[in-house]
Amino acid sequence: MKEGRGENLQILCSRKLNPKPIYTTGQVLHEGGTVPLAVCAGWCGSVLSQLDLNGIFSLTASGGKRSYIDSLSFISSPISAAVCELSETYFKERYGSGGFRKRKHDNFPHGQRREEKENVNPPSALMTSFKSFQLELDTRHDKYERLVKLSRDITIESKRTIFLLHRFISAPNGEEILNESEVKLDAVRRKIKQVAQELIGEDMYQFHRAVSPGLQEYVEAVSFQYFIKTRSLISVEEINKQLIFTAEDREETTNMTSNSHDKQPHTWSLRVTPVDYLLGVADLTGELMRLCISSVGNGDIDTPFELSQFLRQIYDGFTFIGNTGPYEVSKKLYTLKQSLAKVENACYTLKVRGSEIPKHMLADVFSTKTELIDQEEGLP
Amino acid sequence: GRDGASADGALCPQEIRKVVQALEQTAREILTLLQGVHQGPGFQHISKKCQKAREHFGTVRTQMESLKTKFPADQYYRFHEHWRFVLQRLVFLAAFVVYLESETLVTREAVAEILGIEADRERGFHLDIEDYLSGVLTLASELARLAVNSVTAGDYSRPLRISAFINELDSGFRLLNLKNDSLRKRYDGLKYDVKKIEEVVYDLSIRGLNKEATVGAGGEK
């Protein structure tokens, strides 16, 4: 009983305004014939003031009872509440009762308290300005949501890149993996380009919360790759240099907000904020700790020492900032310290026992340790 | 000195905080002044109080000028949290003054002008729309209180006008699709203000106290 049955319902209403309470009578015109309807008290008055006085309110509903009600929900709730009330009897007649009332109250919890406002005429100055506020807020929220989505995509792809790079140490085909990671990071940068395009003409900090997690993860991935290649720490300038985009395809820019100027330069860039950089680097240390443990597992004795030195330098840098930095940074400092301790302990164990344990058994010594660490770590 | 334009306050939140504190002080003074309207004799002196409040807004404008120099113009949202609260408070105060004077809702442009800032982000230090709306919601609860007190003071027509105003405001807010954020939480409180005012109007009408008031409210939109 659902498909394609369009019904045109017209609800004819009249009202008596004085004295209160207001009574409204209504009837539904259905396919030429009329169906008499319930009298609804009180709050219908305010509804009718939004319709034309004694006006005809018509809507087309397709499908059965259920979708008829759904189709009402796009109308503001007092109207639909009233219409539901008016049409309740009608549907009882037509489809039998049951379930209807309950659903109505679920949908229109505010229906009852609209009695007082008779003098709301839609085109008042206040309503007009609120309509423009609606537009402005919706635009802003939409942009925010788009950025959140992009940020999540950036996070996911960056995480995958990191997992890929962890395979680098255990696999002999190093070049291949580095190339692959480069391809992946390029894909991430394309997403960041979209972020940059969304932010043209905007205040970056207004939407910073939406994009920050993604950018941090990107910093982590890109600095991890950089470390593997060069054994040093990438600078924030270096990262930002890679985030200057030129216009090859402008398909995204068409739906920019109106306040972006026409004479945009054909390059646009996104700057990773210092805080995002710091947080990303703090996350990097976690990855380096994993790298250290797994390289021991592979019988690589040199890397752990190199790493412990590198991590110590980063740690020193962070302690230099201390708690003058933002709150999130000082929070990461604790995890950073733990990572460093793990690496230092690994180095210690290697130094003390490395000479005693035959090389092929080193892996066993650390494999138990690795599990332990992984358990503690959870998902960073 | 807080009024001197520091050469480079770019990354100096302390400077921002100082100016914001001064703004908060002025806002408190204006609030204290306007609170007088809730007291019996205050109802006769509303326009005088508004006038005085408007003078205080001159101080606000000077302080805002000073605030603008404390950070780079394009990093408004980086430091937004610092002045958000006080700005919302000031919006409320400006809206309250305008309501008392003309019984209309102040527009965003008008508030910006009263506070000496811009309504549009493009043009500099501006009034964020959410802050404006938040301030307006504060006005609603203040008016709910005013409705009660004006009855006590024997003014039976004002609650009816307030009721009409709040109801229109409520319809306005229902046009907005709010996210689950602080503004949404503030908006959720509006229904209690609406309810409170409806109760006042109800009390008046069942006692027939709105009779001459209805005549007065008839002219009101």
What ipTM was assigned to the predicted interfaces of this complex?
A: 0.82
Better-scored residue on pLDDT, A37 or A343: A343
CA closest to B205 among chain A residues? A20
Range scoring the smallest mean pLDDT among A13-17, A363-367, B120-124: A13-17
Contact at CB, A137 and B164, closer than 8 angstroms: no
pLDDT confidence of residue A86: 52
pLDDT confidence of residue B72: 87
Q: Which residues from B are below 8 Å from A125, CB to CB?
A: 104
pLDDT confidence of residue A104: 40
A137: tokens are 């807020």
CA closest to A112 among chain B residues? B195
* Residue in A20, A117, A204 closest to B167 by CB: A117
* Residue in A126, A140, A208 closest to B105 by CB: A126
Contact at CB, A130 and B172, closer than 8 angstroms: yes
Contact at CB, A117 and B194, closer than 8 angstroms: no
Is residue A247 pLDDT above 80, yes or no?
no
Q: Which residues from B are below 8 Å from A126, CB to CB?
A: 104-105, 168-169, 172
Is residue A73 pLDDT above 50, yes or no?
no
DSSP state for residue B107 in the 8-state scheme = P
What pLDDT, in 10s, does the model give residues A160-169? 999 999 887 6
pLDDT confidence of residue A92: 53
**pLDDT grade, residue B44 (50/70/90)?**
confident
Candidates A74, A76, A112, A130: best to mutate against B (most CBs of B within 10 A) is A130
Q: DSSP readout, A314-365?
A: HHHHHHHHGGGS-HHHHHHHHHHHHHHHHHHHHHHHHHHHTTTS-HHHHHHH
**pLDDT grade, residue A301 (50/70/90)?**
confident
Whether chain A has a CB inside 8 Å of the CB on B172: the answer is yes
**pLDDT grade, residue B89 (50/70/90)?**
very high
Nearest to B130 by CA among B67, B193, B70, B173: B173
Write the CB contacts of B212 (distance below 8 Å, at least 6 apart in sequence): B156, B157
pTM: 0.68
Q: Is B141 exposed, middle or buried (0-12, 13-18, 19+ CB in 10 A)?
A: middle
Whether chain A has a CB inside 8 Å of the CB on B83: the answer is no
Contact at CB, B168 and A137, closer than 8 angstroms: no
Better-scored residue on pLDDT, A104 or B216: B216
CA–chain centroid gap for B181, Å, is: 20
Give me the percent of chain B exceeding a pLDDT of 70.
90
For residues A209-215, give the mean pLDDT: 94
Contact at CB, B171 and A138, closer than 8 angstroms: no
A170: tokens are 């255990």
Residue B33: φ, ψ to 5°: -60, -45
Give me the percent of chain A exceeding a pLDDT of 70.
54
What pLDDT, in 10s, does the model give residues B143-152? 999 999 999 8
Contact at CB, A137 and B75, closer than 8 angstroms: no
Write the CB contacts of A113 (distance below 8 Å, at least 6 apart in sequence): A43, B191, B194, B195, B198
Is residue A366 pLDDT above 90, yes or no?
no
For residues B106-134, give the mean pLDDT: 91
Amino acid identity at B9: G
Q: Which helix (H) or strand (E) holds A38?
A: strand A33-41
Is residue A340 pLDDT above 50, yes or no?
yes
What pLDDT, in 10s, does the model give residues B150-170? 998 888 999 999 999 999 999
pLDDT confidence of residue A169: 67
Whether chain A has a CB inside 8 Å of the CB on B185: the answer is no
Contact at CB, A126 and B168, closer than 8 angstroms: yes
Write the CB contacts of B215 (distance below 8 Å, at least 6 apart in sequence): none
Residue A26: φ, ψ to 5°: -150, 160
Residue A38: φ, ψ to 5°: -65, 160
The residue assigned the tokens 């680098």 is A168
Contact at CB, A205 and B77, closer than 8 angstroms: yes
**pLDDT grade, residue A185 (50/70/90)?**
very high
Is residue A78 pLDDT above 50, yes or no?
no
Range scoring the smallest mean pLDDT among A7-21, A104-118, A366-380: A7-21
Q: Is A90 exposed, middle or buried (0-12, 13-18, 19+ CB in 10 A)?
A: buried
Q: How far is A229 from chain B (nearest CA, A)?
A: 35
Contact at CB, A138 and B76, closer than 8 angstroms: no
Contact at CB, B121 and A259, closer than 8 angstroms: yes
Instruction: Answer yes or no: are the C-beta atoms of B218 and B157 closer than 8 Å.
Output: no
**Measured distance CA(B143)–CA(B197) in Å, rounded:** 8
Contact at CB, B74 and A203, closer than 8 angstroms: yes
**Measured distance CA(A312)–CA(A317) in Å, rounded:** 9
A127: tokens are 């309503």
**Measured distance CA(B85)–CA(B70) in Å, rounded:** 18
Helix/strand/coil for A245: strand
Q: Which residues from A are below 8 Å from B172, CB to CB?
A: 126-127, 129-130, 133
pLDDT confidence of residue A268: 79
CB hemisphere CA count around A88 (13 angstroms): 17
Angle (deg, nearest 10), helices B158-174 and A125-170: 40
